[in-house]
Amino acid sequence: MVLVSAEKLKKIKNDGLYLPQFEKDSCGVGFVASIHGIATHQILCDGRTMLERLAHRGACACDNDSGDGAGVMTAIPDALYRKDLRNSEDEIELPPVGEYATGLLFLKNDSYEQAIEAFTDLAKGCNLRVIAWRKLQTNPEKIGAEARKTEPCIRQVFITAPYAGTDAELFRRNIYVLRKQAVVQLAKQKIECYVVSLNNSTIVYKGQFTPNQLYQYYSDLSNPEYVSHMAMVHSRFSTNTFPSWCRAQPHRMIAHNGEINTLRGNINFMHAREGVMRSQAYGDDLQKL
């Protein structure tokens, strides 16, 4: 083993055009939670502070106002959504907590109605029922010009089982099947639809933002009635992939620090295994995934 002395390492770093003061690492990830599981708006505020202090771990476009991506995952703010839907024109009443799933969808602006109809039909095929579609209040003027060029139509969907008393584990599996079906089947129909998240316990808000823009863009996040017992935040630094609304994080379950250079290989390996895959939990639905 050959060890490099501190003096030698310092000399290497300062040779040529390389300047260590311009070094950048990959994405910034943070997590805050109540150890007692108590949901408050302060947790969301703490998540905001943490995210904004991760700005140095993110990046932006040449306009200095379009970020590589930022987002937050929280518990579902049931009281906020319940009140909003109850006061809507249709006076919608949500099922009890845990018996409905929700999530944001990024849709194409000129064909979002087609996507909503197709997604609703897919839900029926997965033994699920769409309760409502919610239009989020957003503030496009708060984000950069480059991000606005590709800003999607954002809708929030609420889904439940077709009848009360459905097994909780079966409900979660059906939600997962629906999300995967939305990716596969809508793409075959040339319908653009990206499911940001779809879950009965958590929700993700994200986009092509700088860390400072996330909470300014989504009005929900600044609403005092938005409470959660945890918040996971992410500031993206896209090293070998281009920034986009869909590539922002957190993902539907995790947030990670770094690019996956073996992505294409991993996808091909999984395709090769599809023919021999079996699942007691999903049964015939495995083919839909």
- Alpha helix locations (H) across 53-135? 78-86, 112-125
The SS3 assignment for 129 reads: strand
Contacts of 93-98 with CB under 8 Å at 24 or more apart are 94/131, 94/158, 95/131, 95/160, 95/164, 98/168, 98/200, 98/201
> Residue 162: exposed, middle, or buried by beta-carbon count in 10 A (0-12, 13-18, 19+)?
exposed
Alpha carbon distance 72, 76 (integer Å): 12
> Which one of 27, 60, 126, 193 is the catalytic residue?
27
Number of Cα atoms under 13 Å in the Cβ half of residue 80 = 20
282: its two tokens:
């999903």
Report whether the peptide linkage leading into residue 96 is cis, meaning its omega lies within 30 degrees of zero: no
Active site residue 27: yes
70-75 vs 202-207, strand pairing mode: antiparallel
Give the active site residues. Answer: 27
